[in-house]
Amino acid sequence: MDSINPIPPQVPPQIPPVAPLYPAAPKPPGETPEERAPIPNLMTVVEAILRQPQRVMYQLRQPGAGRLIALMLLAALVCSLVYGVVVGTFSGGSQLWIAPVKIAGGLFVSVLICLPSLYIFACLSGSQARLVEMFGLVAGLLMLMTLLLLGFAPVAWLFSQSTASVNWMGTLHLLFWGIATLFGLRFIEAGFSHSQARSNAGFNTWVIILILVVLQMTTALRPIVGTADSFLPKEKKFFLNYWGECLKSSPEGSLAAH
Amino acid sequence: MQTLKLNRGDIGVLLRGGSRPIRSWSEQWDAQRLALHLGVIVVGAGSYGAAMGWWRDPLQAAYVAAKFPLILLLTAAGNALLNAMLAPLLGLNIPFRQSFLAILMSFTMAAAILGSFSPLVAFLVWNTPPLSAGMHISRAAYSFIQLTHVAVIAFAGLAANLRLMHLLRDLSGDAGVARRVLLAWVAGNLFLGSQLSWILRPFIGSPGLPVEFLRATALNGNFYETVFRAARHLLNFD
C-alpha cells in the first residue's frame, strides 16, 4: 500500500552562494616578468613604487627583501629631510635644520611605533604576511608619502615666502601631508589585500591609529613651522586642544609656539 | 622611425586636437617643437598681457607682457614633479617627459587662444576711457573689462583642458583615469597658478597706484588668505 511519508528526505538545505567579502581581488604580485624584475638601486625603487607597485610588493616577499627596504627607507629619509628644509625656510635660522630633523624623525618614529600593531591586526585578520613584509609595506608607505611631499615642495616653498601666517602654513603642510598619506595608504592597502586577510577591519583601524599618531607627533614635536626657545615643547598637549588654541589665539598666528 | 618635421601647421593640429600627432609629440623631446611651444606661450600670453596692461599705461603693458607667460611657465615647471608622480598613481603610466610635455602643450593651446583674443581686448581697451593716473573711471567700465578678461581666460583654460582630456583619454584608454588625472593636474596648477598671479600682481593696474613690475607688498600674504579674509569680512566674522 502506498503511503505518504510526512518526513521529507534527509537532503541538506542548499546554501545560497555568498558574495565574496572583497570583490574581484587584484592579481597577485609577480604575475608578469616585469613584476618579477629585481629592484637594484634607488632610482629603480622610486620608479617602481610610482609605476609598478606590484613589483615592489613581489620583491618584498622574496629573500633579501632587506636591501629593498633599506633603499626605500633611505629614499624616505632624503625626501623628508629635503621637504623639512623647505618647511624650515618659512622661519629660517635654526629652523632650517630643526624642521627637517623633526619631520624626518617624527615620520619615522610614528611609523615605527605603529608597525607592531599593524602586524598584530594583520595576524588577527588572518593575513599570511610576515613581519618583514609588513615592515616593507610600511617603508613603501613612508617612501611614497615623502616622495609626494617632495613633489609639493616647490609649491610649499613659494607659499612659505609669501605669507607670515603660521596657521596658514601649518594648514597647507597638513593638506599636503594628507594628500601624500592618501596615496601612501593606497599602496599599503593594496599590499595588505594580497596577504589573504579575511577582513579589512583591522587594517582600517590601524590606518586611523597611524593618522592620529602622526597628528599627535606634530604637536609633540612643536614648533615645526614656527620658532621657539627650546627644541621640544615644555607642556604636553593633545593635538586637537593645541589646534584650537592656535586658531583662537590669532587668525594670523604667531611665529612662536607653532 | 618617422622624423617629425616642425611646421607652422603644428599649432593648428594642436588646436584641432589631432590625437595621433599630439600623442607622438608628447612621447619624445624635440628641441624645435619645444621652442615652438615656448614661443607660442611667450608671444600668445605676452600679447594678451600687453593688451591687458595697456589700459593703465604702455609701461604696464610691457610688464604684463612679461609676467603673463611667466605665470604659465613657472606653473608648468613648479608642478612638473608633482604632476609626473600623480599620473601613474592615478592610473596613467606615463614618464615625466610625457606629463610635462602634455601640460606644456595645453598651456600652449591656452596661450594661442589668448593671443588670438589680444587684438579684440586691445580694441576694447582702446574704446574704454583711459585708466591713467588722475583719471576717473566708472565702476561699470572697470567691472566690464575685468569680466571680459575672466571670460576670455576661462574660455582659453577650458578649451586647453578639453584638448588635454582628449590626449589623456587617448594615452590611458580609460575615460575615468583621464578624468582623475586631469582633475588632479588642474587642481594643482590652479593652486600654484593663483598664488603666482597674486605675487606677480598688478595686471590691470589701478589709477591710484604707480606703474610697477611688482608691488612692494608682493610677498606679503597670499591669494587664499586674502580670499579667506574677504569672506570673513563679508560674513561679519571680524
Nearest CB neighbour to A163, from listed B81, B191, B225 = B225
Which span out of A60-74, A120-134, A193-207, A220-234 was modeled with the highest average pLDDT? A60-74
User: B217 CB near a chain A CB, below 8 Å?
Assistant: no
- Whether A148 shows a pLDDT value over 90: the answer reads yes
User: A147 CB near a chain B CB, below 8 Å?
Assistant: yes
Rounded average pLDDT over A203-226: 93
User: B209 CB near a chain A CB, below 8 Å?
Assistant: no
Per-residue pLDDT, A67: 94
Q: What gap in Å lies between CA A54 and CA A35, rounded to an integer?
A: 6
Per-residue pLDDT, B4: 45
User: A171 CB near a chain B CB, below 8 Å?
Assistant: no
Nearest CB neighbour to B82, from listed A152, A161, A165 = A152
Domain ranges across chain B: 17-234
A256 φ/ψ angles, rounded to the nearest 5 degrees: -75, 155
- Whether A104 shows a pLDDT value over 50: the answer reads yes
Q: Please enumerate, as own/partner, the contacts of B179-187 that have beta carbons within 8 Å and a separation of 24 or more.
A: B180/B90, B180/B91, B181/B86, B181/B87, B181/B90, B181/B91, B181/B92, B184/B83, B184/B86, B184/B90, B185/B79, B185/B83, B185/B86, B185/B87, B185/B103, B186/B161
Per-residue pLDDT, A125: 86
Residues of A within 8 A of B216 (CB-CB) are none
Residues A96/A99/A105/A111 CA torsion (nearest 10 deg): -140
C-alpha cell at A8: 521529507
Residues of A within 8 A of B89 (CB-CB) are 50, 144, 148, 183, 186
- Whether A254 shows a pLDDT value over 60: the answer reads no
Domain ranges across chain A: 39-249
Return the closest-CA partner of residue A252 out of A168, A171, A172. A168
Using a 10 angstrom Cβ sphere, with 0-12 exposed, 13-18 middle and 19 or more buried, the burial of residue A213 is middle
A5 φ/ψ angles, rounded to the nearest 5 degrees: -85, 115
Per-residue pLDDT, A100: 96
pLDDT digits (tens, 9 = 90+) for B193-224: 999 999 998 998 887 888 999 988 888 878 88
pLDDT digits (tens, 9 = 90+) for B75-116: 999 999 999 999 999 999 999 999 999 999 999 999 999 999
- Whether B131 shows a pLDDT value over 70: the answer reads yes
Per-residue pLDDT, A10: 60
Rounded to the nearest angstrom, the minimum Cα separation between B220 and chain A is 5
SS3 of A131-183: the string is HHHHHHHHHHHHHHHHHHHHHHHHHHHHHHHCCCCHHHHHHHHHHHHHHHHHH
Per-residue pLDDT, B2: 43
Is the ipTM beyond the 0.90 threshold?
Answer: no
| Contact criterion met (CB below 8 Å) for A71 and A136 | no
